[in-house]
Amino acid sequence: MYSCNHRLIINALGFLCWSLALFVPSILLAADDSHSEDVQQLDPVVVTATKTPVPLSHITSAVEVITTEDILRRNDRTLVEALGLSKGTAIFSSGGPGTTSSIRIRGGQSEQTLVLIDGAIINSATAGGANLGTLTTDNIESITVLRGAQSMLWGADAMGGVVDIRTKRGDGKPVARVFSEYGSFNSIREGGSLAGQLGPVDFSVALSRWDMSKFSTINYRRGAAERDAVRNWQGSSLIGVNTPWDGRLEVSFRWINNDVDIDNSSTFGGPFDVYKAKSTSRQYIYSGTYHQPITDWWDQKITVAQSRETGITQAGTNQFSLSTGLMSVPSDFGNSDIRTKSNRIEWQSNFYIGKPFIVTVGYQFREQLGKNKGSFAEKTISSHAGFAQAQMNLFDRFFATGGFRQDAHNTAGNKTTYRVTGGYLLKETGTKLRSSYATGFRTPTINELFFPNFGNPTLVPETSKNFDVAIDQTLFQKRVKMSVGYFWSKYKQLIVTTSDPVGCAPFTIFNFCAQNIGSARAKGVEASLNVVVVEDLPGFKRVSLDGQYTYTSTRDLMTNTRLARWPVHQGSASLTYQPTEPLSLTGTVRYVGSRFSTTGNQQPLPDFYIFNLAATYQVNAHIEVYTRVENLADRKYEEVLFFGTPGRSVWGGVRINFEIPVLSSESPEST
């Protein structure tokens, strides 16, 4: 049951996003009278949806692209902050920066969302989901969120969607950038980068560190006294070479070193404020791609990628129960040493049959290895897959894609998936209708198959069916962009932990294990509005509004209850005001509806809303100062049950950039 205030927040978000569309044309027309030049906006190019470059206006899938400009405008520091305003997604942190944070799409789970960095899969081989809590936004060019089943192109784990993260590509003269910032909770961040292009070689290299203390992983408002620390180092690079005959070679690398003090949210006598408990993560992500046109109608691309991670958890020395007030010694079960590795090799060949058709065929090898010292030795799951896709573009109005994929897994057997999409663009009015239908699957993880007294080696893949339909509308030279769509998903053979003394007997002595007995469905509405209200007027260099709302109805078909951690209502709005060229102000509001922490509608969490404010001032061509205020209204809330969230907090910093002088390749003229 929502309170009156909470209903007002939902209504305010909807009113702000949609009623503004009714009166904003008069504002835009007035701006056009004062500024006669047409506003030209480049159509972004999306690769993730089809694995070939396609203008966003021609895409027939549900996709969202978060750019560097979006990240800097809001002064987002982490992937969690950058993705927190995306429609159709749910992303929550378990205790602040550096702690476990996962993303789920359209009623799915984190294990059903495939996350890649420059083509390397970062989903855990043992647990299945990708932890985004250790990733900052440093040196990131774009984040593409592809909603709906994408197994036809991307394989296992993409049955809910794909998050594709890309490192910045250098261009122009070499430029060095450094930044330093300080803020609440003794937060200190600093780093530097170097990017540019020299002849056929472009490069982007970055290194940063982040230290923070005085923030409790378990909510301090519940009585946690110890303040936990985060120490995060990250390095990244992307080097590209333009080779003869229009070829291109790219090699990227990312290193993440994260140490965070942790607590224990267990409900068995807890939650606990744990002393000297720590999680240490080391990640190394490598990838290389080579693209080579063979003729004017045929090109090929090969990708080789690897992601390696070591995760060590220390249970701590003692723990204080916030529910009973008793002190105890943490169980040794909290100690772990997990080593995982994910390998991916993909070959792709594209055939351009005239202008209207593109046929893509490809092969993918994928391998995941994992071991848990003291629990099980190294286990391997692997697959070989072939896929084919056809794209059609008639007169830049009619668009369609269709394809299928065959996977052969060493543990889960064979699986066939397919996907079809279609769309029509009425260019005269800027109206696009689009729809898609797809199947997806997820193979069991190493833990689900092999973990002692839990794993079940007879598990089969989870499966899904997904349908969506939407209308996208642009107005006033694309200064107004609106979208509203409906989606429906159904999941079968879901892997759940169940108590079954008979069925689990071959695999465990504890009567519970992993089994394929779950089924669920999700349906809902996704809506968004993006408006450039005013541009290039005195005192109003730019005013823009971005808003989104997602309604998600989920149902566990076994218990007829809502799926865990999925809110019915979510929404956000962002207003940017740039009075002059140097100064930019951005305010955001994020609303998350009530939800349940566990299955069976257990452990309810109330809804919450938070306000943030970001400001940036360009002092001169080389110096920029910035700040961000989080939770401006000092709201008390929890994203995940028992875990801490910041009250009102402030941080600010300075960015400095300067060109690096390089020797000219031109020789002086002789006299």
User: In this structure, what CATH number is given to the domain that contains residue 390?
Assistant: 2.40.170.20
Q: What is the mean pLDDT of residues 394-423?
A: 96
- pLDDT tens, position by position, 521-534: 999 999 999 999 99
90: amino acid identity, one letter:
A
Parent domain of 136: 4-659
pLDDT greater than 70 at residue 25: no
Is 375 contained in some domain?
yes
Q: What is the pLDDT of residue 89?
A: 95
Cβ atoms of residues 110 and 103 within 8 Å: yes
- What is the number of structural domains in the chain? 1
**Does position 202 have pLDDT exceeding 70, yes or no?**
yes
Which pLDDT belongs to residue 667? 43
Write the CB contacts of 562 (distance below 8 Å, at least 6 apart in sequence). Answer: 554, 555, 556, 568, 595, 596, 601
pLDDT value at residue 42: 63
Torsion angle of C-alpha atoms 77, 660, 169, 280, degrees rounded to 10:
-40
Report residue 180 as tokens: 């330093």
pLDDT of residue 661: 86
Sheet holding 318-321, edge to edge: 272-275, 318-321, 327-328
- Whether the CB-CB separation of 188 and 202 falls below 8 Å is answered with no
pLDDT band for position 278 (50/70/90)? very high
Confidence at residue 599, expressed as pLDDT on a 0 to 100 scale: 87
pLDDT at residue 41 in the model = 56
Is 669 within the bounds of a domain? no
Q: Between vectors from CA 491 to CA 488 and to CA 497, what angle results, nearest 5°?
A: 145
Q: Could you tell me if residue 363 is inside a domain?
A: yes
* C-beta separation of 441 from 421 below 8 A: no
pLDDT for the residue numbered 4:
44
* Residue 430, CB-side half-sphere exposure with 13 Å CA sphere: 12
**Cis-peptide into 271, omega within 30 deg:** yes
DSSP code at position 332: G
* Bridge partners of residue 64, in order along the sequence: 145
Q: Which residues pair with 237 in a beta bridge?
A: 205, 253
DSSP conformational letter for 620: S
User: Is residue 670 assigned to a domain?
Assistant: no
**Nearest in space to 564 (alpha carbons), one of 593, 607, 512, 599:** 599
Establish if 667 belongs to a structural domain.
no
To the question of pTM greater than 0.95 for the whole model, the response is no
Among 31-45, 204-218, 437-451, 622-636, the minimum mean pLDDT is found in 31-45
Strands (E), 68-126: 89-93, 101-105, 113-117, 120-121
Cα(76)–Cα(90) distance, rounded to whole angstroms? 17
In a domain, 275, yes or no: yes
Tell me what percent of the chain is helix, strand and coil, each rounded to the nearest 5. Answer: 10, 60, 35
